[in-house]
Structure 1
């Protein structure tokens, strides 16, 4: 995982914004791949059947790919990192298609629009703020751990109140994470901008993965709150 040192020298803001834009470009391309994959599955009964019958296997593969990319980012080539990133986007599209099927198209579109607005606002805040947001890292990571534990517990308890607490907690945590990650990515870019192009390219993919995960998770929790069931 890439570490960020904020003791940097002055750099042209144009250079920084160009490099950060590259990271956002990778993220948006991955989101398009996920959306396209999900749409293909949802509009094909045969693909839907295959995905549903292999759902657990796909989830395991997703976990393996994202963990592999996160821990091996410094050891693999930039091309391999890109391949793993987009493979994860495709696998996520498979699982995402089944999740989205439970909600009405109108509520999915509303949740997506709200997610996009929140992401845009928090990304702008994270980029332009002069405040050091990295100090909130330990608190946010602790929140993610608590979120995961309570989510697993509720799989067995099926408590409605806990479901809503988890959903709102997820929105709060991932909204904050967007600003935090963009802020951290900006400083990472500043530190690495004059370094090795291969390392910068891999850092761009890793940064895009973090923002991609923030967006997807925020969308999921917003959809849990505002989504209307098809039933």
Structure 2
């Protein structure tokens, strides 16, 4: 974007310092996001392992031949508690903006990691539904696609603001469709949601990356390290959500079921 060059030229001799700060800022964003992803998948794998047993004497219902849900698994996946588990990460996302002004950068980072843990609990059922091989394959595909899209968002001179507005509107429609399909349970609608969702979150990955870069460049002159630290956590959360949702949509489309 042309405004990036304008912002940098406006600081004169500080241009090199701004560039170095931007690289450090983006490294923190990606680093925090990566740690969050690791926590999520570690939590999901560990919880799924505790939710299933091969011993029918210490289990509740059978989910497939030779495998049964434990009491924990039954509570997480088969009781009304599953709705709380499913909606808790969404509530934390909406709550993040409210608590951010009142906590430190370190507190924001801890909040993000707690959210990542809850997200792991929320998606842990993927290890019961899909084969481990297909989960790894889709994760690698998502990682490659995410890296390419984020790189495009970081390097492109094209202003993606207009595309971002359109994608956010599409995301709202997607959420409404997902809520409706909870009651309809239509495979055709679920397929359409997944296919459209992949496109939406692919676009949001590029848009959010450019937005993170633009925000830093606009505010770097303030020198407020506490604010920049919080901005990095917010950026990590945005990209984390893009990645995890794109992964789940691709897994729904291409994952091999148990």
TM-score (norm 2): 0.82
Cα distance in 2 for partners of 1:78, 1:167 equals 34
Q: CA deviation at 1:227?
A: 0.8
CA distance in 2, matches of 1:153, 1:70: 27
Equivalent residues of 1:73, 1:206 under 8 A apart: no
Tell me, yes or no, if structure 1 residue 62 matches structure 2 residue 89.
Answer: yes
C-alpha separation in 2, matches of 1:151 and 1:63? 14
Answer with 1 or 2: which has the greater Rg.
2
Aligned to 1:22: 28
Q: Which moved more, 1:103-112 or 1:53-62?
A: 53-62
Aligned residue for 1:9? 8
Offset at residue 50 of structure 1 (A):
5.0
Deviation at 1:217?
A: 0.2
Q: Which region of structure 1 is more displaced relative to structure 2, 191-200 or 31-40?
A: 191-200
Structure 1: runs of 5+ lacking an equivalent:
none
2:215 is the counterpart of 1:209: no
Name which of structure 1's ranges 96-105 and 27-36 shifts more when overlaid on structure 2: 96-105
Distance apart, 1:58 and its partner CA: 2.2
Q: CA deviation at 1:179?
A: 0.3
Deviation at 1:70, TM superposition (A): 2.5
Q: Give 4+ residue runs of structure 1 displaced > 4 Å after superposition.
A: none
Which residue of structure 2 aligns with residue 146 of structure 1? Answer: 173
Would you say how many aligned residue pairs link Structure 1 and Structure 2?
226
Q: Report 1 or 2 for greater relative contact order, CA contacts < 8 Å, sequence distance ≥ 6.
A: 1
Shift of 1:76: 2.3
| 2:149 aligned with 1:122 | yes
- Structure 1 position 146, deviation (Å): 0.9
- Output one character per residue of 1:197-216: Cα deviation in whole Å (capped at 9) or x when no partner: 11111111011000000000
Distance 2:119 2:7 in 1: 36
Query: How far is the alpha carbon of 1:49 from its aligned partner?
Result: 4.6
Aligned CA-pair RMSD: 1.8
2:164 is the alignment partner of 1:158: no
Distance 1:89 1:175 in 2: 20
Tell me, yes or no, if the aligned pair for 2:130 and 2:257 is still in contact at 8 Å.
Answer: yes
Residue 218 (structure 1) aligned with residue 246 (structure 2): yes
Specify which of 78, 99, 115 is matched with residue 126 of structure 2.
Answer: 99
3-state secondary structure, aligned to 1:8: helix
The corresponding residue for 2:67 is none
- In 2: Cα distance, 1:171 partner to 1:21 partner: 25
Q: Distance in 2 between matches of 1:183 and 1:55?
A: 36
- For residue 168 of structure 1, the aligned residue among 174, 187, 195 is 195
Contact 1:30 / 1:212 at 8 angstroms: preserved in 2? yes
- Determine helix, strand or coil for the equivalent of 1:132: coil
Distance between the aligned counterparts of 2:208 and 2:107, measured in 1? 23
Which consecutive residues of structure 2, in runs of 5 or more, have no partner in the other structure? 10-14, 52-69
Q: How many angstroms apart in 2 are the aligned matches of 1:134 and 1:220? A: 25
Structure 1 residue 115: Cα displacement: 0.4
Per the normalisation by structure 1, the TM-score is 0.91
